[in-house]
A and B are shown apart, each in its own frame.
Chain A
């Protein structure tokens, strides 16, 4: 069993829909990192959070430390949101990241 699990692995949505991507982890962490990777592109850090909720534009990330679960929400989705979204557990002491396998999101116009 992977230490960081994401669901779903693939997600197709219509433009404007509300999207949720889930991440569960089994390791102790100091923070949870959400990343975005466009096809053939680099990796961009979206959020790093250790408690509660963070919001940036149409993106919202939440974390429940007790349940070891985090969610990434996209409101009013747009085709340009199509990408792979990756969550990673951040160990803190050594700055190591343990990655999930990613969620491939396709938003259709």
Chain B
């Protein structure tokens, strides 16, 4: 099925561990982004990419790395997990421009991460 696929859905890490959250889309979207969702704060942008080979920081990039080697994939790496990174993470993708009446903004199903 077309869409944004995020893995894993749940993860528990110990402080200091590293891991990669996977995000893949099959809609040929140019734009991909990672958000974290925390109670009372809304979703906040971590990193984004406007195309393969191009990434940039969002509002809360510290402690996270990204790369975009292909159009389809945009993994998010936690370098050394901290309890403050306990959150729900969403990947999203869209066209870079207006097409067919919208940008095609599509969200993944989320990854619930707990750092202990």
Contact = CB atoms under 8 A, between A and B. Distances in A.
Interface of A: 2, 4, 31, 33, 35, 41-45, 48, 86, 88, 90, 94-97, 99-102
Interface residues of B, number: 25
A95 B110 contact: no
A86 B43 contact: yes
A94 B48 contact: yes
Nearest to B44: A99
Contact of A95 (B43, B50, B90, B107): B50
Contacts of B41: 101
A43 B106 CA distance: 8
A101 B94 contact: no
Contact of A43 (B33, B90, B96): B90
A67 B105 CA distance: 25
B107 A42 contact: yes
A43 B107 contact: yes
Closest A-B pairs by Cβ, 7 of them = A43-B107, A42-B109, A99-B42, A95-B31, A101-B42, A99-B43, A45-B105
B106 A45 contact: yes
B61 interface: no
Nearest to B104: A45
User: A-side binding surface: helix, strand, loop or mixed?
Assistant: strand
Among B43, B58, B103, max chain A CB count under 10 A is at: B43
A45 B45 CA distance: 17
B43 A96 contact: no
B105 to A, nearest CB: 5
B40 interface: yes
Interface string B97-114: 000001101111110000
A105 to B, nearest CB: 16
A102 B102 CA distance: 22
Contacts of A2: 42
Among B35, B105, B110, max chain A CB count under 10 A is at: B105
A31 B90 CA distance: 21
Contacts of A45: 102, 105-107
